[in-house]
A = this chain, B = another copy of it.
Amino acid sequence: MSSINWSSSDLQAFAALVQTRHFTRAAERCHLSQSAFSQKIRRLESMVGVRLFERSTRQVSLTPEGEQLSREVLRIERELQQALGQLSDLAGLRAGRVAVAALPSIAAVWLPQLLARWRALHPQVTLTLHDSLAHVGLALLREGKVDLALTAGGDLREFETELLRTEPYWLVCPGGHRLAARRRVHWADLAGEEVIQLARSSSVRQQLDRLAAAQVLRSSPLEVEQLATLAALVRAGLGVSLVPELTLFHFRGPGLAAVPLAEPELTRPLWLARRKGQALSVAAQAFRGLLLEAVSASS
The segment from A66-74, A117-125, A173-181 that touches chain B is A66-74
The answer on a CB contact under 8 Å between B277 and A49 is: no
Q: Which of B7, B50, B54, B86 contacts A6 (CB 8 A)?
A: B7
Nearest chain B CB to A130's CB is how many angstroms away? 18
A9 CB within 8 Å of chain B: yes
The answer on a CB contact under 8 Å between B64 and A281 is: yes
Q: Which of B4, B77, B277, B281 contacts A59 (CB 8 A)?
A: B277
- Give the residues in chain B near A48, CB-CB below 8 Å: 84, 87-88, 91
- Give the residues in chain B near A83, CB-CB below 8 Å: 69, 72-73, 76
Q: Which of B5, B9, B64, B87 contacts A69 (CB 8 A)?
A: B87
Q: How many copies does the complex hold?
A: 2
A199 to B273, CA, bound (A): 93
Which A263-299 residues have C-beta < 8 A from chain B? 277-282, 284
A3 CB within 8 Å of chain B: yes
A68 to B81, CA, bound (A): 14
Residue of B nearest to A59 (CB): B277
* A residues whose Cβ falls under 8 Å from a Cβ of B: 3-9, 12, 47-51, 54, 56, 59, 61-65, 68-69, 72-73, 76-77, 79-81, 83-88, 90-92, 277-282, 284
Give me 15 other A-B pairs in contact (C-beta within 8 A), A4-B85, A48-B87, A49-B91 excluded: A3-B81, A7-B7, A47-B84, A50-B88, A54-B279, A61-B278, A61-B279, A62-B279, A63-B281, A65-B90, A72-B79, A76-B79, A76-B80, A76-B83, A77-B80
